[in-house]
Each structure stands twice: as C-alpha cells, then as structure tokens.
Amino acid sequence: MSDDRVLEQLAQVLESRKGADASSSYVASLYAKGLDSILKKVGEEATETVVAAKNGEPDQLVHEMADLWFHSLVLLAHQGLGPQQVLAELERRFGLSGLEEKASRQG
C-alpha cells in the first residue's frame, strides 16, 4: 500500500467513526469529547515527539510521530477536512520550489 493510500484509508475509517459508539471506539470517544480535547491530544503528542527527538531515541521518535500524525488526522476529520487537502498544499509548494530550482539551474 502506498503512503498516501494509508492516509486515505485511515481517513475513511476516521470518517466512519462519526456517530459511532464512543464506548467501543477511541476515535468516536475523542469526537464526543470535542475540539478542545482533540487539540489537547495533538499538543501532548507534539510535546512527546519533541522530547523523543531531544533524547536521541529514533524508535521512540517514530512512535510519537505516528501518534502525532494520527491525532492530526482526527483533528482534520473533526474539522471536515482530510489528508488530501494537506497533501495537495505540500504538492503545490513542492511544485513551486521545483520550478524555482529548475529555473536557477538553467539560468
């Protein structure tokens, strides 16, 4: 499965958890607690990511980064957005810088 397929399929699961039973789904329980709780989780996971990097723990860094990406996807879904909008923005920026690099090489 390609990387963006993982993001897209996980986003579909997150969408399907809207209206699901909060007692049997972690994601549904986050939606039920509301925006501030989701933002708190994103902040916590960002801090844990920073600590893992500062401690020079590569395996822990990957683990915490996955938690951060996951909770960021939950936040996007809660806001009616998804990974495709973020990937499109990154692709747009990459396209712009790619053109600039090409022009500077040719100039």
Ligand X SMILES: N=c1c2ncn([C@@H]3O[C@H](COP(=O)(O)OP(=O)(O)OP(=O)(O)O)[C@@H](O)[C@H]3O)c2ncn1[C@@H]1O[C@H](COP(=O)(O)O)[C@@H](O)[C@H]1O
Binding site for ligand X (CB under 6 A): 13, 17, 25-28, 67, 70
Beta strands in 10-103 (DSSP E): none
For 64, list phi and psi in degrees, rounded to 5.
-70, -35
Q: Choose between 42 and 87: whose C-beta lies nearer to ligand X.
A: 42
Hey, how many other C-beta atoms are within 10 angstroms of the C-beta on 30? 22
State the nearest-atom distance from the C-beta of 58 to ligand X, in Å: 18
C-alpha to C-alpha distance for 29 and 9, rounded to whole angstroms: 20
- Please state the closest distance from residue 90 (CB atom) to ligand X, in A: 21
Least distance (Å) from ligand X to the CB of residue 77?
A: 11
Nearer to ligand X, 53 or 70 (CB): 70
| Closer by beta carbon to ligand X, 44 or else 87 | 44
Q: What would the DSSP string read from start to end of 13-38?
A: HHHHTTTS-TTT-HHHHHHHH-HHHH
